[in-house]
Amino acid sequence: MQSRPPILVVEDDRVLRQVEVVLDPRTSPERAAAFATYVAHDLPDWYAWRDALRAKLPHLHPAEVRLVDSQAALRQALPGADGVVVESLEIGPEELALGSTLKVVQKFGRAGKNVDMAACAARGVQVLDLRRRTNIALAEHTLMFMLGLARRLPYVNHLVTPERLQAAGITPLPYDTRHTASANFGRITGLQMLHGRTLGLLGFGEIGQETARLAHAFGMRVLYNKRHRLDAAEEAAMSVTYRDFDALFAESDFLSVHVPSVPATRSLVDARAIGLMPQGAFLINTSRAEIVDPAALLGGLQSGHLGGAALDVLYDEPDTEDDPLLGFANVLLTPHIAGASRMNGLADMDDMLRNIQAALVR
């Protein structure tokens, strides 16, 4: 290991900025305090966690961290760097030539096509990836939403006494248990299973792929749509089938949104798209609220065309009491918690930095 502090070039986003806070002593106290506040409900003493992680990183802390927010900035920052962390920025022959001292490329997530594996291998640069716990948690939350909607959980929760059933407009009628069981004593209709149903994934990045794995365990058929279709071998390995945008909506009993929020995806799920969905289908959004047109969503629920919806991302965060979505018994709303707890992201950061250190000292 060189005598100077290591230099890491890191793609600048609101998660990866924590690399700077942990490793670079030049980071402003204000940014450190912001992260401490961000995780305080799950980790009251973030500073103790940071110091404990630093103790595990004697060859990596302190470091110079260069945050970059574009491909051009990445290229400008690479000369002299020992490692680079990217999520969506590209690492190819040009970047590797500029980063002639690079020893490691860390993909923040699973290995993707933005990192040229062959070019890295040819230059002896180790490539690391990370199966992010946050993405797994998001997929689990999506499946929770699907199960909750299929089993009418928002409606049936607490409907377990005659008084509550009557208040909900249900007249409890006893079964003749001399001859039959007493299951579903509330006589709740419209209960569904996931098994044998079709899940459509709008977007098929890492979270979509994690969701597909879980859906298969429930016996679901999984369709997907993304800008660049997978090759046949990849589709077969993941047991998924490609559909164009219209066909995805038309064939999905459950449609789950997993595309990023960019200008092109704003109101991508509009009234036309919702109208393509089968009568009674369910719409789930754990990505960003603005991808689903709010008037179209409300119209689909009011008309009964949608069987229900579930959102972890809201049009106002926190929401307001006059939000009409709060009035639907077939709508699940959660306060942007799908990736929680914060310990998921902290554990991801711990793993990633220790793996980078190991690559630099090998």
> Is residue 339 included in any domain, yes or no?
no
Token pair, residue 37, equals 């506040």
Indicate if 139 and 89 belong to the same structural domain: no
- pLDDT tens-digit readout, 168-211: 999 888 899 999 998 999 999 999 999 999 999 999 999 999 99
Token pair, residue 289, equals 């609220």
> Is residue 162 included in any domain, yes or no?
no
Q: Which domain holds residue 68?
A: 7-129
3-state SS assignment for residue 325:
helix
When divided into structural domains, the chain yields a total of 2
Indicate if 112 and 142 belong to the same structural domain: no
Specify the range with the lowest mean pLDDT, choosing from 142-146, 155-159, 210-214, 272-276.
155-159
CA-CA-CA-CA dihedral for 109, 111, 117, 123, to nearest 10: 30
Domain with residue 66: its CATH number is 3.40.50.720
CB 286 within 8 A of CB 142: yes
Short-list 48, 44, 134, 132, CA closest to 341 = 134
Show the DSSP H helices in the chain as ranges: 17-23, 29-39, 46-55, 71-77, 93-98, 117-122, 133-150, 153-156, 162-167, 206-217, 232-238, 245-251, 271-276, 294-302, 342-361
> Is residue 174 included in any domain, yes or no?
no
Indicate if 143 and 103 belong to the same structural domain: no
Active site members: 288, 317, 336
> Is residue 345 included in any domain, yes or no?
no
> Is residue 143 included in any domain, yes or no?
yes
- pLDDT tens-digit readout, 27-86: 999 999 999 999 999 999 999 999 999 999 999 999 999 999 999 999 999 999 999 999
| Nearest-angstrom CA–CA distance, 318 and 140 | 23
Q: What is the mean predicted confidence (pLDDT) over 210-236?
A: 97
| Nearest-angstrom CA–CA distance, 206 and 61 | 30
- pLDDT tens-digit readout, 293-348: 999 999 999 999 999 999 999 999 999 999 999 999 999 999 999 999 999 999 99
Residue 174: its pLDDT value, please? 87
Q: What's this model's pTM, rounded to 2 decimal places?
A: 0.93
Indicate if 210 and 301 belong to the same structural domain: yes
Indicate if 116 and 201 belong to the same structural domain: no
pLDDT of 292 over the 60 cut: yes
Indicate if 315 and 229 belong to the same structural domain: yes
